Amino acid sequence: MGSYCRARAFSASLPGKDFILCKRKTKMNRIGRIYSSIVFQNISIIIAAGILNILFGPNGWKPDAVLSQFIDPIYRYVLPLMLAYSGGKLYGGHSGGIVANVAMIGLIMASDMPMIIGAIIFSPPIGWLSAWLERRTQDYIPIGSELLIANLIDALLGIGLMLAGYYLVGSLMNDVLKHINSGLVMLVGSAWLPFLSLVIEPAKVMFLNNLINHGIVAPFGIQQARELGKSIIFLVEANPGPGFGVLLAYLMTSSKEEKPSIRGTAGIQLFGGIHEVYFPYILMKPALFFAVIAGGFTGISFFQIFDVGLVSTASPGSILLILFLAPQKDILIILAGVGLSAVVSCIVAHFILVRSHAKRSGAPMESLTFPLGEKNERPSIMILDEQPYSLSPIRHVTISCDGGMASSAMGAAILRRKVKEARLPNIQIEHRSIDDIPTETDLIIIQHQLKKRMNQMHQSTLIIGVNSLSNLLEYDDIVLLIKNRNQSY
């Protein structure tokens, strides 16, 4: 439980109530990140089905009745089984993944709809059950027969859960999915859909973009895309227009020295699909939340009016991938919608920046931008860990973000290049999600906005907060810190 939660609990007039609310919020975030992680690990399968659909599906570039037959088995069998394995493995290791995989066959066979949501929901508890059963029985297994009995237990548990899924849960889950699908159709056709931007755009900026995209949007969007051939749900979060519009407004109101940095950031956001790079700009001036909300609202409304969508989730949210995953007749409309949302966002953001005297002549923005080699003053890094950390040499560095990909992957690539240029030997650098940081890590690098979500198990690890994982200058300070630390050993 973070210090924020404890502070609320002891400072409020009803501490017990606030403590419970904060605890529930933490648990909900944890559950959401679990489901997001399950989908995130299998994004390539989803995109593979989307590519087949966009190329050889009924509305594809080159419809082919033979090749399009591969699409349905991916949605019906491959994707649910891989999701089940990933979810079971989270809590039960390889054995938990295998048990969840076998158990999922029961749900698949009992339903005439892809059991994608069912796999995401049920596989983590199945993995936990497998691990729990292994712990409870390991003291009673005769020496020498561990492998035989462990495999037998997993097989029997998988069969039992498979039969339970087929006879007890499958038909109920099938009805639930049909109601969900009907609800999605109603939502997509209603006037309420654009109002999702009131929640989604601010949540994205608070670094919940991966949770929204992979934990909520993707499962329901996949279900709808399989039924209708495409889904507007995939465009709700992935639209790069609102963020790009904010960066354009900053570009218009910035000094000459700042423009190259902002242009680089805008290119990464639009073409690289790494939306996290624009979040610090909005957090620096919270009034810009209105700009991204207005842009998101405009984009969703435009997409809804022209009934467009994507055949698969776009991850990362690059404009190139979005256009590639759009049906042929929707490409120009989606491009226009992204452009329109960027224009609206830019207009609102420009008004806000000008009104707040954003056109400055002296205050640098390097700590929030992607420097392209300017010799500006280096921003200082921030040590977030208030606990005493080990002074051992730094050999293992983990760069972390919410999903463990995108911005952290880019940050890891930057740091590897910096470490290589500094000729620092034997430094392992990797990128992970916040919930998957290895215990042997010597140094954790994270955006300081996410410090409240850091895992408390890393109390003895040096944690460094940066304003942006795309900032080259901040990595110079980190390399210097690593060099100084390791020289003393």
- Domain ranges for the chain, please list them: 41-188, 198-368, 382-487
Give dist(CA 89, CA 117) in Å, integer.
17
CA distances from 155 to 98, 184, 466 (A): 9, 37, 47
Q: Which structure tokens are listed for 297?
A: 């609202």
- Does the annotation count 401 as an active-site position? yes
Q: Can the peptide bond before residue 316 be classed as cis, meaning omega within 30 degrees of 0?
A: yes
Closest listed residue to residue 209, CA positions, set 243, 247, 245: 243
**Rounded to the nearest 5 degrees, what angle is found at the Cα of 331, between the Cα atoms of 327 and 333?**
120
Q: Which residues pair with 445 in a beta bridge?
A: 399, 464
Q: What is the mean pLDDT of residues 10-28?
A: 46
The answer to which of 58-62, 74-78, 100-104, 399-403 has the lowest mean pLDDT is: 399-403
Tens-digit pLDDT profile for residues 194-240 = 998 998 898 888 777 777 777 777 888 887 888 788 899 999 989 99
How confident is the model at residue 37, as a pLDDT? 80
pTM of the full structure: 0.75
* Averaged pLDDT score across all residues of the chain: 82
Q: Is the dihedral of CA 297, 300, 303, 307 positive or negative?
A: negative
What backbone phi and psi angles, to 5 degrees, belong to 446?
A: -150, 155
Instruction: Considering the domain delimited by 382-487, tell me its CATH architecture.
Output: 3-Layer(aba) Sandwich (3.40)
Give dist(CA 168, CA 107) in Å, integer.
9
Give dist(CA 131, CA 148) in Å, integer.
16
Non-local (6+) Cβ contacts of 259 within 8 A are 251
The answer to which of 234-248, 265-279, 326-340 has the lowest mean pLDDT is: 265-279
Tell me how long the chain is: 489
Which residue type is seen at 27? K
**pLDDT higher than 90, residue 383:** no
C-beta neighbour count of 47 within 10 angstroms: 18
**SS3 of residue 399 by DSSP:** strand
Which residue type is seen at 268? I
**pLDDT higher than 60, residue 15:** no
- Pairing verdict, β 382-383 and 462-466: antiparallel
Tens-digit pLDDT profile for residues 123-160 = 999 999 999 998 888 888 888 888 888 899 999 999 99
Give dist(CA 216, CA 117) in Å, integer.
10
Q: Which long-range contacts (CB under 8 A, 24 or more apart) does 358-361 make?
A: 358/250, 358/253, 358/285, 359/253, 359/254, 359/255, 360/255, 361/255
Give dist(CA 39, CA 339) in Å, integer.
29
Give dist(CA 225, CA 311) in Å, integer.
6
More confident residue, 342 or 405: 342
Q: Is the dihedral of CA 385, 389, 393, 394 positive or negative?
A: negative
Annotate 406-436 with DSSP letters as a single string.
Answer: THHHHHHHHHHHHHHHTT--S-EEEEEEGGG
Q: Which structure tokens are listed for 216?
A: 């909520």
Q: For the chain, what is the largest distance between any 2 Cα atoms, rounded to a whole number of angstroms? A: 77
Give dist(CA 235, CA 308) in Å, integer.
9
Please answer whether residues 37 and 83 qualify as being in contact, where contact means their C-beta atoms are separated by less than 8 angstroms: no
Tens-digit pLDDT profile for residues 34-90 = 887 888 888 889 889 889 988 998 878 888 889 889 988 999 999 999 999 999 998
Match 């620096």 to its residue by tokens.
284
Q: 5, 22, 346, 401: which is the annotated catalytic residue? A: 401
What backbone phi and psi angles, to 5 degrees, belong to 249?
A: -65, -40
Give dist(CA 419, CA 97) in Å, integer.
37
